[in-house]
């Protein structure tokens, strides 16, 4: 029996999208008839309360919440549910979406999420009869047969966006025949971007920790870097591993490597480890291993992450501008000590707009100069949006107005700089 609280009005900007909902159904503004929903809410408000956890994570109503933001509605009705397990949350998300027309690809992603949760939590109650597991799963997510489900699953697993769209717009059989003619698989994944613009909608690998106190990069960026810069059996080192997204993406490499799947060695370190898979190490004291084939560093962004990881003075997230720039130089030296000629090192950072001092700190150019000064050349530069404009709440509107008034644009673009040791 689900326990609920009375309906209350909550600021829409406080609500948090559930990552599983975004993974399964995509960004709300990309769904069918979204503009009509915005106009309806602008005229009549949100009539049906959203279902949220006590921590204001949305279980049902992602489209209504986003539409309310678009319509300029500040407070909307919600009903909180208490003490739900991960399994119960997933069941509620999928069950409450069964009233609307869902695309076959969405139904497959529901099934994959259920399978993943069963594996990670050992919840055998999901499928009490193992011999009828596939039939039960197919029926549960809305397929008329196990055969249709298996075909649709192969199409989604191919990661070929053209085939997935063909299935959703026409029939499973039409897309499956085309897949079969190609040999039953695709040689690429839609997660892997063919250009230098690495934007992801929806994000395939969203936040894996429970913290909302600091930012994170989508795991999709790791997948692209690993695809383009890592060879089989390479030693890959992430010395600022954060929540361990690198390992999460590596363990799911069958989803983005397709038929080209291969293994490489991955080592994770951090000044303040968040999981048992990450070893403690201070990068400012030197590189954690003698040699590395590929280095991946997602720097804590200047002025944006103060004391969100730790209170340590040696944590560069807590440093002022002068100390931060000196730390970058030291990190470049540490990387150079661990890499031989031809090896690659990727650094991720945006520039920083300091609205208090009303200036732009060109962190990206400083990184380029630092890595060049210790024996690297720029190998490739790619770009990815930080998606800060995806939230159009009151706070974001104020920041946008300040940026325009001061003629200092907000920092939205993350630059992914990959250097080659020379």
Q: DSSP string of 153-172?
A: HHHHHTT-HHHHHHHHHS-H
Tokens of 101: 């027309």
Most distant CA pair in the chain: distance in Å?
A: 65
Q: What is the pLDDT of residue 131?
A: 66
Q: Write the CA distances from 157 to 187, 201, 204, 252, integer angstroms.
A: 11, 17, 13, 12
Residue 107 has pLDDT above 80, yes or no: yes
Q: Classify each residue of 149-158 as buried b or exposed e, where b means 16 or more C-beta atoms within 10 Å of its C-beta.
A: bbbbbbbbbb
Percentage of residues of the chain with pLDDT beyond 70:
88
Residue 282 makes CB contacts below 8 A (sequence gap 6+) with 271, 314
CA distance 56 to 13: 10
Q: What is the pLDDT of residue 128?
A: 61
Pairing of strands 50-53, 57-60: antiparallel
Residue 137 has pLDDT above 80, yes or no: yes
Q: Which of 85, 95, 147, 145 is nearest to 117 (CA)?
A: 85
Q: What is the pLDDT of residue 85?
A: 78
Which neighbouring-strand residues pair with 354? 359
Helices (H), 45-123: 62-71, 86-97, 104-121
Length of the chain: 422
Of the listed ranges 114-118, 163-167, 219-223, 324-328, the least confidently predicted one is 114-118
Higher pLDDT, 182 or 369: 369
Residue 225 has pLDDT above 80, yes or no: yes
Tokens of 362: 């060109």
Residue 139 · residue 167 · CB < 8 Å: no
Average pLDDT over every residue of 373-401: 85
Residue 368 · residue 328 · CB < 8 Å: no
CA distance 296 to 338: 13
Q: Classify each residue of 376-413 as buried b or exposed e, where b means 16 or more C-beta atoms within 10 Å of its C-beta.
A: beebeebebbbeeeeebbeebeeeeeeeeeeeeebbee
Of the listed ranges 148-152, 249-253, 308-312, the least confidently predicted one is 308-312
Residue 190 · residue 230 · CB < 8 Å: no
pLDDT for 43-56, tens place per residue?
A: 999 999 999 998 89
Pairing of strands 344-349, 413-421: antiparallel
Q: What is the pLDDT of residue 211?
A: 61
- Going along the chain from its start, the domains and CATH numbers come out as 1-101 (3.90.1530), 103-186 (no CATH), 219-421 (3.40.50.150)
What are residue 268's phi and psi, to 5 degrees?
-120, 135
Residue 360 makes CB contacts below 8 A (sequence gap 6+) with 351, 352, 353, 354, 408
């Amino acid at each position: 029996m689900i326990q609920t609280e009375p309906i209350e009005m909550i600021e829409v900007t406080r609500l948090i999208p559930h990552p599983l909902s975004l993974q399964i159904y995509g960004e709300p503004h990309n769904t069918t008839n979204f503009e009509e929903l915005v106009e309806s809410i602008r005229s009549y408000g949100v009539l049906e309360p959203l279902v949220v956890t006590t921590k204001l994570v949305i279980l049902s109503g992602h489209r209504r919440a986003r539409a309310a933001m678009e319509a300029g509605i500040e407070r909307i009705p919600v009903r909180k549910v208490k003490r739900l397990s991960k399994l119960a949350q997933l069941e509620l998300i999928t069950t409450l979406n069964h009233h609307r027309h869902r695309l076959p690809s969405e139904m497959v992603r529901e099934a994959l999420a259920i399978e993943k949760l069963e594996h990670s939590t050992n919840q055998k109650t999901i499928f009490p009869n193992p011999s009828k597991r596939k039939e039960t799963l197919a029926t549960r997510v809305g397929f008329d047969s196990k055969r249709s489900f298996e075909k649709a699953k192969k199409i989604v697993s191919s990661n070929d966006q053209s085939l997935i769209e063909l299935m959703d717009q026409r029939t499973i059989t039409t897309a499956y025949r085309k897949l079969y003619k190609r040999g039953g698989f695709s040689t690429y994944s839609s997660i892997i971007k063919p250009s230098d613009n690495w934007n992801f909608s929806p994000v395939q690998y969203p936040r894996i920790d429970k913290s909302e106190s600091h930012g994170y990069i989508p795991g999709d960026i790791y997948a692209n870097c690993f695809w383009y810069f890592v060879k089989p059996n390479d030693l890959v080192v992430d010395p600022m591993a954060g929540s361990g997204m690198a390992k999460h993406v590596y363990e799911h490499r069958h989803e983005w490597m397709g038929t080209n799947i291969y293994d490489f060695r991955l080592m994770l370190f951090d000044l303040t480890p968040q999981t048992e898979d990450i070893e403690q190490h201070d990068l400012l004291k030197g590189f954690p291993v003698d040699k590395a084939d590929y280095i991946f560093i997602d720097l804590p962004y200047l002025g944006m992450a103060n004391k969100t990881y730790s209170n340590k003075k040696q944590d560069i997230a807590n440093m002022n501008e002068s100390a931060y720039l000196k730390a970058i130089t030291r990190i470049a030296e540490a990387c150079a000590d661990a890499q031989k000629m031809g090896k690659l090192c990727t650094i991720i950072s945006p520039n920083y707009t300091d609205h208090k001092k009303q200036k732009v700190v060109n962190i990206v150019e400083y990184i380029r100069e630092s890595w060049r000064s210790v024996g690297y050349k720029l190998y490739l530069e790619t770009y990815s949006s930080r998606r800060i404009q995806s939230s159009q709440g009151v706070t974001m509107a104020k920041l946008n107005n300040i940026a325009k008034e001061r003629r200092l644009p907000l920092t939205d673009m993350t630059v992914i700089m990959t250097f080659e040791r020379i």
